[in-house]
Amino acid sequence: MDTRLPEEMGSITAARRLIAEVLRECGYQGRQEDVLLVVSELVTNALVHGEGPPGLRVLGSGSRLRIEVRDAGAELPELRDPGPARGWGLHVVRLLSAAWGSAPIEGGGKTVWCELTAHQELTSRPPALDPPHGAAQDGG
């Protein structure tokens, strides 16, 4: 699933609905509540800290899920001290995901991505899947 969301806070709810449908279709066996929370955090961050309407891309199977949220802003996200004033967004994503990161998009913008596994152990991190859609590639 790959879609563009409106540049409005209602997109958070829309993203959660879309993800719930993808979870049903792919038969993801992991904690669906974690997936919905991570999607909410990533879309919220794109709307609050990014530029332009966010894009949402999801690749999944019964055991693995990759979520990518992109926007036109060039500034890559950084983990900050969490709290009520600054939020917990990326810390929640980091804690609930097997892996996460961000990458600039060739031609402008960025993608923030995370991967969740149905049976992930917090002490081990699986290798990353393919680079984010549209991300700039290293020369090698």
What pLDDT, on a 0 to 100 scale, did the predictor assign at position 76? 93
Tokens of 21: 């449908």
Query: Is the separation of the CB atoms in 5 and 15 below 8 Å?
Result: yes
Query: Is the separation of the CB atoms in 101 and 67 below 8 Å?
Result: no
Residue 83 has pLDDT above 80, yes or no: no
Query: Is the separation of the CB atoms in 54 and 7 below 8 Å?
Result: yes
Residue 40 has pLDDT above 90, yes or no: yes
What pLDDT, on a 0 to 100 scale, did the predictor assign at position 126? 46
Q: How confident is the model at residue 85 (pLDDT cuts 50, 70, 90)?
A: confident
We find that the CATH architecture of domain 2-117 is 2-Layer Sandwich (3.30)
Q: pTM above 0.85?
A: no
What pLDDT, on a 0 to 100 scale, did the predictor assign at position 81? 79
Give how far the C-alpha of residue 52 lies from the chain's centroid of Cα atoms, to the nearest Å.
16
- Helices assigned H by DSSP within 1-135: 10-26, 32-49, 89-96
Which tens digit of pLDDT belongs to each residue from 53-82? Answer: 999 999 999 999 999 999 999 999 988 777
**Count of other CB atoms within 10 angstroms of residue 69:** 28
What pLDDT, on a 0 to 100 scale, did the predictor assign at position 88? 78
